[in-house]
Amino acid sequence: MSRQRRKVIYLLGFMGSGKSTVGQLLADALGWPFIDLDTLIEAGQGYTIRQIFENSGEPFFRQIERAALAEASKAEPAVIALGGGTYAQPPNVLLIREAGGATVWLDCPPELLRARCEGLQNRPLFRDEQSFMQLLMERLPYYRLADFRISTEGRNPQEVVEQILSLRVF
Ligand code: S3P
């Protein structure tokens, strides 16, 4: 008999897909703790994500992101919102698979992602239209590895939560 899946839901998707908003609402609905990986990193470092990128560069950010992911993955039950690049790092995909739990990709149309990212100050990897599309294309193959895909198109965050709850993943 297969072991029951851990009560952990990882939300993944590109910057601006709503991981943090949906994650908090989902955690509230389940009565589970919510962990936002970027917030955990900022709290641990005492710097904003933008400052970490500016002061120490992306490779350092990816290192501490992995350490934060390993730490967050010990929690159960938990809803964990990943950063946009977390699941596009193969060692992180492995780490999450080994930890167990369910991965849910919040799939959002590119034009909506772009519009949302343009208004955000704390997204160092959002530069221009071309680099945005390139980054998105590079990451889609990783996002497609998720256990579940939820289209957020035409759905508000609460409706996205209802879709996730209807998956009955556990
Ligand atoms: C990143 C996305 C950000 C944050 C960092 C790097 C990325 O998270 O982790 O700026 O590589 O796409 P959000 O997806 O929450 O914006």
Prior bond of 90 cis (ω within 30°): no
Give me ligand 1 centre to Cα 84, in Å: 4
d(CA 127, CA 103): 28
Which one-letter amino acid corresponds to residue 120? L
pLDDT at res. 170? 67
For residue 13, is pLDDT > 70? Answer: yes
Cβ of 139 less than 6 Å from ligand 1 = no
Nearest CA to ligand 1 atom 12: 84
d(CA 62, CA 17): 20
Cβ of 113 less than 6 Å from ligand 1 = no
Q: What is the pLDDT of residues 76-118, one digit of tens each?
A: 999 999 999 999 999 999 999 999 999 999 999 999 998 888 8
Contact, 10 vs 36, CB < 8 A? Answer: no
Q: Is 81 exposed, middle or buried (0-12, 13-18, 19+ CB in 10 A)?
A: buried
Q: Cα-flanking dihedrals φ and ψ of residue 128, to 5°?
A: -140, 175
Cβ of 42 less than 6 Å from ligand 1 = no
pLDDT at res. 3? 57
Q: What is the pLDDT of residues 110-149, one digit of tens each?
A: 999 988 888 777 777 777 788 889 999 999 999 999 999 9
Q: What is the pLDDT of residues 53-84, one digit of tens each?
A: 999 999 999 999 999 999 999 999 999 999 99
Mutate to test the pocket of ligand 1, among 47, 125, 135, 152 (most ligand atoms within 8 A of CB): 125
d(CA 110, CA 100): 29
